[in-house]
Chain A
């Protein structure tokens, strides 16, 4: 694992960011720790869902569905692979990163799935100069993250597995059922050490994803991460994440007021669900997903705007600029939906919303 100087890095891995909490949890450990893990399943739950370790307060990392976290942890305890499925922005990668950070203290054994991911990236490849010079040898072998995880008995992450081509996805099938990786060129087989597992994440709604085969799905325990259940929990998530993010970014702006967060979450939820929060009015939906993650980045953007060009607090204009950009993904359809929303819903909400309405209206 490579330690990087904190100041230079845009975003630290979870285990470095929350090192104090992890250390406190390990110190306060009371329950049995499974082989290959750094803390007990219960401590992992505390790390993710929040609580206390001795005197240290553990901040919640994933809010709302504690039971799903328990299912995820129990899956990994049983050495079973875990597949997190959900719409974009439902904290799949976030959860997978924190699970590995807590369990192994290392969230960096990761394969970032793309349409161009090859089977070698999942298994192993070669240092071709050495391969040509000396023939196959252990030194010439370049191990993939999964390979290294098997050797060390830790957890590998495969991000966006559904973006990989189906053939490539299927390379995981035998790895997961046999729990060993063979290197025929060297005539060796690497057995997975106890503690090895895989956490994969997959998108359900994005364009450009490949269906996963039933055989592969059977090798995973599947946990579906839902969008936040209600306005309050979504606001809670947005608030917590914006706080954490902005602390890293030096934005020179005050955190968004409760009221601003509420407005953003309301707009997002209404457009996402196609009806107003009180269910009294149907709304034309947008082509984009408008996930909680987008709400978070929207607020951070607005803070950046306010900090760099404004007076340091988010104004309606800052918010409107961000909103228009996030909502209108497909020029034709979305701008009609957005206009309708502004006129039929936002305008009628009264004085409180008038400023934002005008600012959005001006940008159209």
Chain B
């Protein structure tokens, strides 16, 4: 190509770039503007500038098949590309995207992981070269604060040249970039063929490509070459985006650490007074602090502005860069302490802006599916920015005619649970409000733009809500390395009503080794599976396949439980929870062998070499289930609470016993006689030891229960129950308190 079009090299997401680009376009008055971006998005250009559109928005293209590859170009209001489109619209001049169409782009060989790392090092290298300032700040000083268009263009040329130089040594990106540039030149050639002179065309492209495109040796791609490029089935869409997302993506082009601050720069540029940005940054920080209860005086803001200016001068830049401003804010408004202003800094630099697109523009198939289901489930009125409560009754509604209507609430529940699994923040499950009614569910439903964004992102996982949910469940199964994680997936799959995912997770669970799994882990799995088996039918799912695995887990837990009872007091808490869970599972399912369970409990209750608290607790469970008669209990109490057995062991046992069925214990007068007799036998030191444990055992008894114990004791000692109750429930006297406090220093290691 002989004559080249005008090329305006930019830095992506650069306010100064957007500003000077508009100037450049005004001056050149082109007849066509070509912009770096996949050219199959040309049909979306109109949508970019519709009045309802509000940046940040993003261009998203993704492959149909796994492994999913994506291209994402976010645009903020200050993106040069976006402003180019806006300018063309204002002047009714055609503009087009000129980069490879996304189906070709996505088919280019993937950069291997190693190359990804190398790519990072280009920027790391830049960081090192930029010194303590880092490259972000360096480019901010040299480009965003450029004195005029010329120096901006010099800055980008240097930027593009530097990266090109550094990455040219590495082969990874090189061919891809050459292909893209050849395609861009082909687009230019086509435009020229259609009768537009090169001098009437402006190319808007990243600084990196600007250097390549202006190289006279570069040739446009031929028709055959283009036809020979591989293609892959891909979809594309526009999507709303958010400043938060922009800031959380690192890397040049894809993100921008401080979008709200860059918006301030953009506004300052357009107002004609660049120093305005620094002042509004610091005033905003001060404003945020005041709103949140920290007084900040204007004098302090003035000092901060002065300090930021001085810091900028020290670095030789005309205006403070973000780094100077932040340091000034920390020093003058935060008393030298970053934590004091960190929230204000996040709010001022990142902000909470969320983009908007006209209704119907962003329509991936998963969104279509979402809206269809919203309609089917009659949830449309919940697609509202105000939060609304939704109570579901999962049972069949027998008063309606069609089957679909009969299970409306159930399908709503499935739908909301699937969205929950996809982390789409639409419905919030109020699990705590279940009221033990297994057929009732409570949700707080609220539509947010954030939900739309996550929904679009879920498009990468599948075409419908169900497919995407099942994909993400599968992902979780594959990455799970603990039994209980897999069990949680089963539970989730169940609440989502996805039978195939349940059986897939089940297979994964069976394949996992249970040899070295701890009792609490097993009990947690049993607990989850038990719940699913118990309530499965309400969700119209057959829980039958879960039964054998539940049996297996339960049996395994029984086998290892006695061994696990050799533990210290800290670990015993978990085991107690586990025993409770296993017991509950036996009670709810006939197919779990009750006999085995009772034998295990008896073994734990009787053995003397286990943690005595656990033995006591096992006895309590037996007592609750009526498998421990009065006589055996009395004998056991006497045996456990007898002289010669260390006091802490005896009292620990009693603590375990007292954790359950207190009324049954209180009602047995003989038990309190035994306890009394036991305490009598102890000497002072032993009594102190026992007291610590007993005090803990009785700590969570209610006042009423304490009253009744007092009555028992009164009877034994021959006092009036009332008097004893007063003594027991009354506040401690000073000398008593001292005695009790002295117990805190009691050294158990001796």
Contact = CB atoms under 8 A, between A and B. Distances in A.
Contacts of B335: 217, 222
Interface residues of A, number: 21
Contacts of B375: none
A83 B335 CA distance: 10
B132 A66 contact: yes
A41 B314 contact: yes
A80 B303 CA distance: 8
B310 A218 contact: no
Nearest to B133: A67
Given A71-B311, A74-B311, A78-B306, 4 more contacts: A67-B132, A70-B311, A71-B327, A222-B331
A218 B300 CA distance: 7
A75 interface: yes
Contacts of B311: 70-71, 74
Interface string A42-58: 10010000000000000
Given A66-B132, A67-B327, A221-B303, A74 B337 contact: no
> Which of A42, A74, A78, A83: most chain B Cβ within 10 A?
A74
Contacts of A22: none
B314 A74 contact: yes
A71 B297 contact: no
B336 interface: yes
B313 interface: yes
Contact of B310 (A67, A78, A85): A78
Contacts of B299: 218
Contact of A75 (B300, B307, B315): B307
A77 interface: yes
B297 A218 contact: yes
Contact of A224 (B309, B314, B332, B336): B336
Contacts of B332: 221
A74 B303 contact: no
B308 to A, nearest CB: 8
A75 B328 CA distance: 9
Contact of A45 (B297, B314, B331, B337): B314
A41 B313 contact: yes
B302 to A, nearest CB: 10
> Which of B299, B310, B332: most chain A Cβ within 10 A?
B310
Interface in A215-251: 217-218, 221-224
Given A74-B307, A78-B303, A223 B314 contact: no
Contacts of B337: 222, 224
A73 interface: yes
Interface in A157-207: none
Contacts of B336: 83, 85, 221-224
A66 B328 CA distance: 15
A148 B260 CA distance: 47
A74 B310 CA distance: 5
Interface string A61-74: 00000110011011
A74 B335 CA distance: 16
A217 B300 CA distance: 11
Interface in B310-333: 310-311, 313-315, 327-328, 331-332
Contacts, number: 56
Given A71-B327, A218-B297, A223-B331, A80 B313 contact: no
Nearest to B311: A74
Q: Secondary structure of the B side of the interface?
A: helix
Q: Secondary structure of the A side of the interface?
A: helix
Contacts of B331: 71, 75, 221-223
Contact of A77 (B303, B310, B328): B310
10 contacts: A41-B314, A67-B327, A71-B307, A74-B313, A75-B331, A77-B314, A78-B306, A221-B336, A224-B336, A224-B337
B3 to A, nearest CB: 46
A42 B337 CA distance: 25
Given A70-B314, A223-B331, A223-B336, A78 B132 contact: no
A70 B297 CA distance: 24
Interface string B338-351: 00000000000000
Interface in B462-518: none
B273 to A, nearest CB: 21
A42 B314 contact: yes
B498 to A, nearest CB: 42
A45 B309 CA distance: 16
B132 to A, nearest CB: 6
B582 to A, nearest CB: 35
Interface of A: 41-42, 45, 66-67, 70-71, 73-75, 77-78, 80, 83, 85, 217-218, 221-224
A223 B314 CA distance: 17
A41 B299 CA distance: 24
Nearest to A221: B331
Contact of A78 (B307, B315, B327): B307
B676 to A, nearest CB: 42
B474 to A, nearest CB: 36
Contacts of B306: 78, 80
Contacts of A224: 336-337
A221 B310 CA distance: 13
A74 B328 CA distance: 10
A221 B307 CA distance: 9
Nearest to A32: B313
Nearest to B303: A80
Contacts of A221: 303, 307, 331-332, 336
Contacts of A83: 336
A68 to B, nearest CB: 9
B307 A80 contact: yes
A71 B328 CA distance: 8
Contacts of A66: 132
A75 B310 contact: yes
Interface in B727-743: none
A306 B315 CA distance: 46
Nearest to A69: B314
A222 B328 CA distance: 10
B303 A73 contact: no
Nearest to A218: B300
Contacts of B310: 41, 73-75, 77-78
> Which of A70, A71, A73, A83: most chain B Cβ within 10 A?
A71
A78 to B, nearest CB: 4
A142 to B, nearest CB: 33
A78 B306 CA distance: 7
B169 to A, nearest CB: 30
Nearest to B312: A74
A80 B304 CA distance: 11
Interface in B275-300: 297, 299-300
A41 B335 CA distance: 23
Top 3 A-B residue pairs of the complex, sorted by shortest distance between their CB atoms? A74-B310, A222-B336, A224-B336
Contacts of A85: 336
B336 to A, nearest CB: 4
A306 to B, nearest CB: 38
> Which of B313, B314, B328, B337: most chain A Cβ within 10 A?
B314
Contacts of A77: 310, 313-314
> Which of B299, B309, B328, B335: most chain A Cβ within 10 A?
B335
Interface string B35-73: 000000000000000000000000000000000000000
B328 to A, nearest CB: 8
> Which of B306, B309, B331: most chain A Cβ within 10 A?
B331
Contacts of A217: 335
A84 to B, nearest CB: 9
Interface in B115-161: 132
A92 to B, nearest CB: 12
Contacts of B307: 71, 74-75, 78, 80, 221
B367 to A, nearest CB: 46
A74 B331 CA distance: 11
A73 B331 CA distance: 12
A218 B294 CA distance: 13
B290 to A, nearest CB: 15
